[in-house]
Chains A and B, each alone.
Chain A
Amino acid sequence: MPKSSFSALLLGLLFTVWPAGPAGAHTGHKEEPVKAEKPTVEGSIYAVEEEESEHGVTTEGVDLPGSSFSRTDIFSEEIPMTPEPMQHMDHGSMLPMEHKMPEVKLAEHEWVSTGQKGYGAAAAITLLSGLVFGFLSFKRPGG
């Protein structure tokens, strides 16, 4: 190979493998170190503000007054939003058909206890409705 051709090949190779980064140094592009960004929900309707009080205490996990259902309440157990495939059990005996399953207390109609909150008021409302019906029946509107 002639010496001039060898020099041209070497020069060509040099430009080819030259790192592209420094070559772009004058284009205005500035490469910055990659940082793992934390996704933000700021401004979203789903954003939950963790407000700090004057004393630096966050409201998270605190039962707020008037809130029966706080984040730390008894309903915190996860429930999937859609049902899973069913496993059938014997309706009569409630005994598992194949292997042991959690016991389910079936909901049934029950007699109302007279100790319920406001039972007297409820009885009065019922009595009043009976009186209104009796009065309207006594009047016998329209035959």
Chain B
Amino acid sequence: MANGLLETLKDRLGLGVLDYEVEEHANSIPYSLGGMTTASFILLILSGFLLAQFYTPDPERANQSVHYLMDQIYLGWFLRGIHFWSAEVLTVTMMLHLVRVYLTASYRAPREINWLTGVGLLLLMVVMLFTGTVLKWDQEAYEALDHFLWVAERMGIFGLPLTEKFAQGVPLLNRIYMAHISMLPIVILPVLGLHLFYMKYHKISPHPDNPQGGRKIKFTQHMAYLQRAGAGVFMLICLLALTIAPPLGDKAILGLEVTKPPWQFVWLYALENLWVPFLVVAPLVLTLILVAIPFVDRGKEIHWKKRPLAIFVLAILVIAIVGLIIWGKVTTMTHEM
């Protein structure tokens, strides 16, 4: 009887469309990193809904409203911890997903568009991370915004909408908050939808050890695996939120530069110390490299052991970024903006 009811529900809700076959290797951690990133993003949205109930996007009150949430609201500290650690976990799983796709050459034809939508999502998530950092409006936030404004000013007419001059009288913090909770998610969701659609359309990329394809499983089995991965991600985030509180400083003292950015931006901070215009040049060059990858690498071989040049480029990039992050963490800024 229960089976009959399930079958009826499946029929009425059209769940039968999820019964298509996928490669068995989809049910492995490397090929579920995108799913884990999506799980973190869903957690970010849900916790963000609740956080928005307590946040005041006013330069005079923003920082205090976050302190109030942390100290006075029941479970407020845990809620903010969930939001913060979801973003951290998302950063890690997203970067690992990018590396896995690169290593298995999954960006090659016919999956170029999926790679490009992935790069778009990466950029949007970086902007989300940046705007989220600014919202707490402490010293770190204020300095991050100051660096951003420096870049925006150098972008001329293209940077104007990102400055206060665009909407005089409206605090920039208000507009950043609007972008964080409304504009960016509205852009991210359709791009994520496209990313998932093209993954379904072109099917999951072949495993390098078995390019011709192997055993198949139902997509619903893959969804069950992703459910488990998502539960694991949620448990990890809860554990982190329960033990380590996200940093939160006092209201910013304007005109000083004493903090360093979150680790995701430290490599850029270190480059900026070498040559200030790197702040504009480096993200641009890195984005162009990422966009160009599927159009430059047109080879047929997908196993990483047989792609020494691609692996060399990746190794150089990873070593450079990790090295810059470490250097940025230990060095003292000497540049003048």
How far apart sit A125 and B43, CA to CA, in the bound complex (Å)? 14
- Chain B nearest CB from A73 CB (Å) reads 8
Which one, A106, A121, A122, A132, contacts B241 given CB within 8 A?
A122
- Chain A nearest CB from B130 CB (Å) reads 15
- Chain A nearest CB from B205 CB (Å) reads 19
- Chain A nearest CB from B224 CB (Å) reads 3
- Chain B nearest CB from A113 CB (Å) reads 9
Q: A83-B145, A104-B139, A104-B258 are in contact. Are A136 and B244 (CB under 8 A)?
A: no
Decide: B231 and A69 in contact? CB cutoff 8 A: no
- A29 interfacial by beta-carbon distance below 8 Å: no
Decide: A104 and B253 in contact? CB cutoff 8 A: yes
Q: Which residues of A contact B241 (CB under 8 A)?
A: 112, 122, 126
- A3 interfacial by beta-carbon distance below 8 Å: no
Residue of B nearest to A91 (CB): B332
Decide: B139 and A107 in contact? CB cutoff 8 A: yes
Decide: A77 and B258 in contact? CB cutoff 8 A: no
**Chain A count of residues within 8 A CB distance of the other chain:** 51
Decide: B245 and A82 in contact? CB cutoff 8 A: no
Q: A86-B146, A102-B253, A112-B243 are in contact. Are A136 and B227 (CB under 8 A)?
A: yes
How far apart sit A91 and B335, CA to CA, in the bound complex (Å)? 13
Fill in one digit per residue for A53-66: 1 if any B CB lies within 8 Å of its CB, else 0: 00000000000000
B interface, size bucket: 35 or more
Q: Which residues of B contact A34 (CB under 8 A)?
A: none
- A79 interfacial by beta-carbon distance below 8 Å: yes
Q: Which residues of B contact A87 (CB under 8 A)?
A: 255-257
- A109 interfacial by beta-carbon distance below 8 Å: yes
How far apart sit A86 and B337, CA to CA, in the bound complex (Å)? 8
Q: Which of B232-280 contact A (CB under 8 A)?
A: 232, 234-235, 238-239, 241-260
Q: Which residues of B contact A132 (CB under 8 A)?
A: 231, 234-235
- Chain B nearest CB from A123 CB (Å) reads 6
- A43 interfacial by beta-carbon distance below 8 Å: no
Interface segment out of the listed B71-79, B102-110, B117-125, B184-192: B71-79
Decide: A86 and B224 in contact? CB cutoff 8 A: no
Decide: B164 and A75 in contact? CB cutoff 8 A: no
- A12 interfacial by beta-carbon distance below 8 Å: no
How far apart sit A117 and B77, CA to CA, in the bound complex (Å)? 8
Decide: A118 and B78 in contact? CB cutoff 8 A: yes
Q: A101-B256, A106-B249, A122-B75 are in contact. Are A81 and B81 (CB under 8 A)?
A: no
- Chain B nearest CB from A122 CB (Å) reads 4
Which one, A78, A89, A107, contacts B248 given CB within 8 A?
A107
Decide: B60 and A105 in contact? CB cutoff 8 A: no
- Chain B nearest CB from A69 CB (Å) reads 5
Q: Which residues of B contact A77 (CB under 8 A)?
A: 60, 251
Decide: B164 and A106 in contact? CB cutoff 8 A: no
- B38 interfacial by beta-carbon distance below 8 Å: no
How far apart sit A105 and B81, CA to CA, in the bound complex (Å)? 20
Q: Which residues of A contact B244 (CB under 8 A)?
A: 109-112
Q: Which residues of B contact A91 (CB under 8 A)?
A: 258-260, 332-333
Residue of A nearest to B73 (CB): A117
- Chain A nearest CB from B35 CB (Å) reads 12
- A4 interfacial by beta-carbon distance below 8 Å: no
- Chain A nearest CB from B129 CB (Å) reads 16
- B27 interfacial by beta-carbon distance below 8 Å: yes
- A94 interfacial by beta-carbon distance below 8 Å: yes
How far apart sit A133 and B234, CA to CA, in the bound complex (Å)? 9
Q: Which residues of B contact A81 (CB under 8 A)?
A: 59, 164, 171-173
- Chain A nearest CB from B23 CB (Å) reads 12
Can you list 28 A-B pairs, Cβ within 8 angstroms, ordered by A? Answer: A77-B60, A77-B251, A81-B59, A82-B172, A83-B143, A84-B254, A84-B255, A86-B255, A86-B337, A88-B333, A88-B335, A91-B258, A91-B333, A104-B250, A104-B256, A105-B249, A111-B243, A111-B245, A112-B77, A112-B242, A117-B74, A118-B75, A118-B78, A132-B235, A133-B231, A136-B227, A137-B228, A139-B224
- A-B contact sample (7 more), CB < 8 A, given A106-B249, A118-B75: A79-B60, A84-B254, A88-B333, A106-B139, A107-B249, A117-B73, A141-B221
Task: Mark A residues whose CB is within 8 Å of B.
Answer: 68-69, 74-92, 94, 101-102, 104-112, 116-118, 121-123, 125-126, 129-130, 132-133, 136-137, 139, 141-143
6 tightest A-B contacts by CB? Answer: A141-B224, A142-B221, A107-B249, A107-B247, A118-B75, A126-B238
